[in-house]
Amino acid sequence: MAEKMTIDAAVNHVTEPDIAEEVLALGRNARQAARDLANRSSEEKDFALTAMARIVRTRSSEIVAANVRDIETAQEAGRPAAFIDRLSLTPERVEAMAAGLEEISTLPDPVGAVLAEWDRPNGLRIQRVRTPLGVIGMIYESRPNVTADAGGLCLKAGNAIVLRGGSEAHHSNWAILNCLTEGLRAAGLPESAIQMIATTDRSAVGLMLKGLEGAIDVIIPRGGKSLVARVQDEARVPVFAHLEGICHVYVDKDADLDMARDIVVNAKMRRTGICGAAETLLVDRAAAETHLQPIIDALIRAGSEVRGDEDAEAAEDRVTAATEEDWATEYLEAIISAKVVDGVDEAIEHIARFGSQHTDCIVTDNVATAEKFLTQVDSAIVLHNASTQFADGGEFGMGAEIGIATGKMHARGPVGVEQLTSFKYVVRGTGQTRPV
Amino acid sequence: MAEKMTIDAAVNHVTEPDIAEEVLALGRNARQAARDLANRSSEEKDFALTAMARIVRTRSSEIVAANVRDIETAQEAGRPAAFIDRLSLTPERVEAMAAGLEEISTLPDPVGAVLAEWDRPNGLRIQRVRTPLGVIGMIYESRPNVTADAGGLCLKAGNAIVLRGGSEAHHSNWAILNCLTEGLRAAGLPESAIQMIATTDRSAVGLMLKGLEGAIDVIIPRGGKSLVARVQDEARVPVFAHLEGICHVYVDKDADLDMARDIVVNAKMRRTGICGAAETLLVDRAAAETHLQPIIDALIRAGSEVRGDEDAEAAEDRVTAATEEDWATEYLEAIISAKVVDGVDEAIEHIARFGSQHTDCIVTDNVATAEKFLTQVDSAIVLHNASTQFADGGEFGMGAEIGIATGKMHARGPVGVEQLTSFKYVVRGTGQTRPV
C-alpha cells in the first residue's frame, strides 16, 4: 500500500511549489467551508446526506465500473486476495454505503447541544455547548467506502473534511466523491466541505501531517498498522487512531465455563481481522484445571491455532509453545495466545504490560472481581461477561463510526458523530463586571 | 526567562547520558505512580491535600526564606520589577497557596463519575466513566505558586505530574515541593505522584516535549508567549495552552450605553495583564455617534491609551492612529485598539481574522443579534453583556484552574480538575456474544 512506504519520505520530501500551492489552497477552502457549515441547520445537512444516498444509489453501476478499473490495476500489480477484497465494491456494498449515509442523516445533530449549564451567584448563566471541530484530515488505504462514511459523518458534525485515499482506489474514490459533491450542491452547502486531494504526489501526505498550515484540526488515519504508526509518529496535529487491538479475555476462577467458552470463541473467531478480536486468553490458575482444556478445545475446534505457555501446553496436546513475542502480537487471524495467571491481579498486570489499551474483557460471576478489573484495566473499552467483538460504534448505539481511538485525549473508543465535535462556553449576563 | 531562550536549542540538544537517564527514570516513576493513584480513594487524595495545606502553613517562614534567596539572585541579575513581583512569595501569598490546596480538597472527585449510561437491545449496559488522564508535564516560569496549584489539581484528578519550573524560582519551588511530598507521604500515596526535574540542564525540557518516552500524556506550559509558542511548536504530545488572549468587546447598535461603558472599562482595565483582558473595542457604525466618544472617554479617564481607526480618531482627539498590527496585538497593558464596524457581521469577521479564539463579548439588548454572535464567534468563551475578565475557572465555579486552553481538543476554556481527566467505556453483560 502506497502510503506505508511513502509517508516517511513524504514528510521531508521537497514539494513542487505548484503542488504545494494546490494542496494548501484546498486546505484554505476547507477552513472556509467549515466556518460556513458551523452555522448551517440540521435540515440542510440532513438534506445533503439523503441526497448523497439517493445519488449513490442512482449511480451504483458507474461506481462499480470505476471500481472495476481499480481492481484490474490491482490484479495486474499482483495484489493479494485480501487486498482485492478490501478494494472491491459490489452493488451490495454500494447499497450499504447509501444506507449508511441515510442512517447518519437520522442521527441527532450534535451541534448546539447543551452539554452542561449552571448559574453563578452573580447571575451569569454559563452553558457548555457542542460546536463542530473544524476540519478533519482523513488518510486511508484501500477501502473506498471510507470516502462516503467519513464524508457523511464529518458533514453531520458540521466539519469540513480533506480526504487522501489510497492511489489503488483512485477511480472508485472519485466516483463516490462526485456523488457527495452533488449532494452538497443540491442542499446549497459549500462543495469544499468534502474535498479529495487530487495529486498522487507523496508530498501531499506530508503537508497534511503538518496540518496544511493550520487548516487541519485533527488527522484520522484508517489502514494498516504501519500507516497508523507513521501518521502518529509524524503528525504535528492531533490524531484519532488506534495502532492495534491486542484484546484480552480473562477467565476468572468464578467464571461460568459455558459462558467463558462462548465468549472466548466469539471474541477470537467471529471475525479474526477486526481490531476488537481477542488475541490473548488469560485463565486464572484456580480455574485452570476445570476451564483451560475445554476452552482451548473449543477454540481449536472452531479453527483457531493456540499458542500457550507451559501450563496451556500441559493442558492440551495441540497447543504449541508461545514465545515472549506472542503476548505482544496482534495476529488478526485464527491464532490466539493462551496463558495461566495468578488471579485477576496478574491478569491486570499482564494487560498493562502487553495490551494496547483498546478492549479487554473479564468473565466471572464474582461482581467484586469484575469491578476491580473494570476499574484497573486502563483501556478504552472494558467488558464484563461480553465478547470483545462488541468494540464497535454501531454496537454501542452510536450510529456509524469513523474509527476507534486508543488515545486518552478528546475521543477514546468508538469515534462517531459526537466525538467529531468540540465545545465552547456561552456566558449570558445582564451587564456584570468583575470586581477587583 | 530561561526557557524562552533555551527551548529551541533544547529540542535538538544532545543530552548527557546520565542526565537523560535521570529524567527518563523520573518519567517511569511518574507513570508507575499514576497507575497507583488511579485506584486510590477520594479520601486518600483529600487527606493528602489537606495535609499539604497544613504543612505549607507550618513551613511558611521557610518557604518565604527560600523565596528571598531567589529574589536576591533575581535582583542581582537586574530582573525587572514585574518579574520580581511574579516571583515573590509573601506570607499572604503562601497562605493563599495553602487555602487553594484546601479548596481543591473540597471539590468533588471527578474520577469514577458516570458521564453517560445507556442500555442496548441485547441487554448490554454501557457507561462512560471518568478516569484520570495519566501523567501531566508542567513547564512554567517564575510564579512559584504554580508548583502547589498544579500539584494539587493533578493529584485531585488522580494524575501524576512532572514539574519543570523556572530556574529563577528554584529554591522557592523546592521548598513548596517538599511540603507536597510530605503530604503525599502522610496519606500513604506514592511520592512520585508529584516530582520536579532537578537538573537545570536545558535538555530536560526537550525530553519533556518529546513525552519522556511515552511517560507524559499532556504538556501544560504556563508563562510568557514565547514559552508557550515554543512548547506548542516543538511538543510531540498534546498541549493544553493558550498562546494569547486577544479578546474583543463588540458594542452593538442596540447596546445600552451605560452597560457598554462599564463592561468595556472593566474588560480592559480591571487587570490589564491577564489573558481575559480586552484588547480591542469594536463599535457598531449605527451606534458610533452616540456610543463611541463616551466609551473612549471613559477608557481614557480610567487610564487607558486608545489607538483607533479613522472613525475613532475622528470621534475623540486623544485617540492615536492604530496600525494594522494593533488589531493583532495582545497589549497586556493599559492600551486598547478601537474600530468602527458595520454591524455584528463585520464584528464576527474581524474577530475571526484577528482574534485568538480565547474570549469575546457582545454588548446588546437585541437577543437575536446576541445569539448570532454567540453562535458564530469560534472562541473558547463567548459572552453576552458581561466582562471578558470573567474568563477564569474560579469565576466559572470550577474551583481552581491550571490554565486556559484555546485548542479545540479535549480541554477548551478554563482547565480545572475535570479537564485533567479522560474516560473509558465500561460494558456489563450477561454472556453476550456478537452475532455474525
Element (H, E) at A298: helix A293-301
Kindly give the residue spans of alpha helices, DSSP state H, lying in B59-188. Answer: 60-76, 81-87, 91-106, 145-156, 170-186
Q: How far is B39 from chain A (nearest CA, A)?
A: 7
- Are residue B171 and residue B76 in the same domain, yes or no? yes
- DSSP structural state of residue A161: E
What is the reported pLDDT for B8?
A: 37
Q: What does the pLDDT read at residue B325?
A: 97
Region of B304 (left: φ > 0; alpha: ψ -120 to 50; beta: rest) is: beta
Tens of pLDDT, residues A39-91: 999 999 999 999 999 999 999 999 999 999 999 999 999 999 988 999 999 99
Contact list in A for residue B432 (CB cut-off 8 A) is: 385-387, 390
- A434 vs B39, B270, B422: nearest CB: B270
Report which of residues B11 and A435 the model is more confident about: A435
Q: Is B139 helix (H, G, I), strand (E, B) or coil?
A: strand
Which residue out of A209, A396, A408, A436 would a mutagenesis test of the B interface target, given it has the greatest number of B Cβ atoms within 10 Å? A408
| Residue A282 near residue A264 (C-beta atoms within 8 A) | no
Say if CB B406 and CB B380 are below 8 A apart: yes
Q: Measured between beta carbons, which residues in chain B are less than 8 angstroms from residue A270?
A: 433-434, 436
Joined together, the cell numbers standing for residue B2 give 530561561
For residue B415, being part of any structural domain is answered with no
Residue of B nearest to A428 (CA): B384
Task: Give the structural domain span for A322.
Answer: 247-390
**A292 and A314 Cβ atoms separated by less than 8 Å:** no
Q: Supply A12's cell numbers.
A: 521531508
Half-sphere exposure of B12 (CA within 13 A, CB side): 2
The reply to whether B208 and B272 lie within a common domain is: no
Facing residue for A133 by CB, picked from B352, B408, B436: B408
Q: Which residues contact B25 (CB under 8 A, 6 or more apart)?
A: none
Same domain, A282 and A259: yes
The backbone torsions φ and ψ at residue A39, rounded to the nearest 5 degrees and listed phi first, read: -110, 15
Distance CA(B328)–CA(B319), nearest Å, equals 18
CB B355 within 8 A of CB B379: yes
Crossing angle (nearest 10°) for helices A60-76 and A91-106: 120
Band of pLDDT at residue B136, cut at 50, 70 and 90: very high
Cβ B398 vs Cβ A399: under 8 Å: no
List phi, psi (to 5°) of A190.
-65, 130
Q: Within this chain, do residues A45 and A189 fall inside the same structural domain, yes or no? A: yes
Q: What is the ipTM of this complex?
A: 0.92
- A204 and A61 fall within a common domain: yes
pLDDT in tens, B72-81: 999 999 999 9
pLDDT over 50 (residue B67)? yes
| Boundary (domain end) residue, out of B180, B204, B234 | B234
In a domain, residue B267? The reply is yes
State whether residue B331 is helix, strand or coil. Answer: coil
For residue A265, the chain B residues in CB contact (below 8 A) are 433
Which chain A residues are Cβ-neighbours of B352 within 8 angstroms?
Answer: 35
Q: Which residues of B touch A412 (CB under 8 A)?
A: 422-425
Does A222 share its domain with A251? no
In the predicted structure, residue B222 carries a pLDDT above the cut 60:
yes
Mean pLDDT of B48-59: 98
pLDDT band at A244 (very low <50, low <70, confident <90, very high): very high
Mean predicted lDDT score pLDDT of chain A: 93
B316 has a pLDDT exceeding 60? yes
Residue B431 lies in a domain: no
Is pLDDT above 60 for B14? no
Which of B203, B234, B265 is a domain's end point? B234
- Lowest model confidence (mean pLDDT) among A328-337, A402-411, B11-20: B11-20
Nearest to A409 among B390, B410, B425 (CB): B410
Q: What is the CATH number of the domain that holds A273?
A: 3.40.309.10
- Taking residue A103's Cβ as centre, other Cβ atoms within 10 Å add up to 15
In whole angstroms, give the CA distance from residue B31 to residue A88. Answer: 44
Same-domain check for residues B256 and B230? no
Residue-wise pLDDT for A120-162, tens only, equals: 999 999 999 999 999 999 999 889 999 999 999 999 999 999 9
Whole-number pLDDT of residue A8: 37
From chain B, the residues in CB contact with A120 under 8 A are 395-397
Tell me the average pLDDT across B21-29.
94
Is A162 in contact with A216 (CB distance < 8 Å)? yes
**Using 50, 70 and 90 to split pLDDT, how confident is the model at B15?**
low
Task: Say yes or no for a CB contact (<8 Å) between B133 and A39.
Answer: no
Residue B397 lies in a domain: no
Q: Which residue of B has its CA nearest to A383?
A: B427
Higher-confidence residue: B13 or A1? B13
Distance from CA of B142 to the nearest CA of A (A): 23
CA distance A65 to chain B (A): 29
Question: Among A268, A242, A222, A267, which residue's Cα sits nearest to residue A358?
Answer: A242
A194 and A46 in one domain? yes
Q: What pLDDT is recorded for position A436?
A: 86
* A164 and A30 in a common domain: yes
**Look-up of cell digits 507523496:** A202
Grid cell at residue A316: 492440551
What's the gap in Å between the CA of A170 and the closest CA on chain B? Answer: 31
- Of B360, B357, B396, nearest to B263 by C-alpha is B360
**E-strand stretches of A74-134:** 114-119, 125-132
Q: Give the least confident one: A161-170, A396-405, B207-216.
A: A396-405
* Same-domain status, B38 and B177: yes
**pLDDT on residue A15:** 58
Question: In chain A, how many domains are there?
Answer: 2
Is position A251 within any domain? yes
User: 3-state DSSP call for residue B360?
Assistant: strand
Task: Give the Cα separation of A253 and A220 in Å (integer).
Answer: 40
Residue A378 near residue A357 (C-beta atoms within 8 A): yes
Distance between CA B269 and CA B305 in Å, rounded? 11
Arithmetic mean of pLDDT, A259-263: 98
Q: Are residues A223 and A295 in the same domain?
A: no
Query: Does some domain include residue B385?
Result: yes
A390/B427 Cβ within 8 A: yes
pLDDT given at position B7: 37
Asked whether residue B418 is domain-assigned, the answer is no
Instruction: Please tell me the distance from the alpha carbon of residue A254 to that of residue A356, in angstroms, as a whole number.
Output: 26
Among B120, B386, B431, beta carbon nearest to A427? B386
CB A382 within 8 A of CB B427: yes
Residue A361 · residue A264 · CB < 8 Å = no
B206, B234, B262 - which closes a domain? B234
Average pLDDT, chain B: 93
Q: With respect to residue B106, please indicate whether it lies within any of the assigned structural domains.
A: yes
Whether the pLDDT of residue A329 is over 50: the answer is yes
* Whether A183 contacts A157, CB under 8 Å: no
Is the domain of B362 the same as that of B270? yes
CATH classification of the domain holding A53: 3.40.605.10
Tell me how crowded residue B312 is: count the other CB atoms within 10 A of its CB.
25
Poorest-confidence range of A222-226, B246-250, B255-259, B275-279? Answer: A222-226
